[in-house]
């Protein structure tokens, strides 16, 4: 798994994770560079992030930067997140997609 943190001054994602309590996260499945309902994920995450005081959550620069980091082949399960102790920090994790099954795990 690779982790990046949004640098609001440089307007770019930089390698390395931030510290803090996870306050918000959203993930989606990417197959061969395609994703279903991406704009809905973006809107839902951005709206909730803005409520937490993270003004860059709806930044076109942020979303363009993370899209550029997602490979166009393979299966991935990227996650955007906000970590917060004092100030909210935007993060992005590129994770391999989990193995899918036809069963629900209802433990």
pLDDT digits (tens, 9 = 90+) for 41-50: 999 999 999 9
Q: What is the DSSP string of 31-94?
A: ETTB-SSHHHHHHHHHHHHHHTT-GGGG-HHHHHHHHHHS-SSSEE--EEEEEESSSEEEEEEE
For residue 87, what pLDDT band results from cuts at 50, 70 and 90?
Answer: confident
Whether 73 shows a pLDDT value over 80: the answer reads yes
| Domains of the chain with CATH codes | 2-96 (3.30.470.10)
């Amino acid at each position: 798994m690779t982790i990046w943190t949004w640098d609001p001054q440089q307007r770019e994602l930089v390698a390395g994770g931030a510290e803090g309590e996870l306050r918000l996260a959203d993930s989606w499945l990417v197959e061969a560079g395609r994703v279903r309902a991406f704009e809905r994920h973006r809107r839902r995450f951005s709206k909730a992030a803005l409520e937490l005081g993270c003004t860059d959550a709806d930044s076109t620069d942020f979303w363009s930067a993370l899209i550029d980091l997602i490979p166009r082949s393979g299966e991935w399960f990227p996650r955007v997140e906000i970590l917060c102790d004092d100030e909210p920090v935007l993060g992005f994790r590129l994770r391999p997609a989990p193995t899918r099954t036809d069963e629900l795990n209802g433990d």
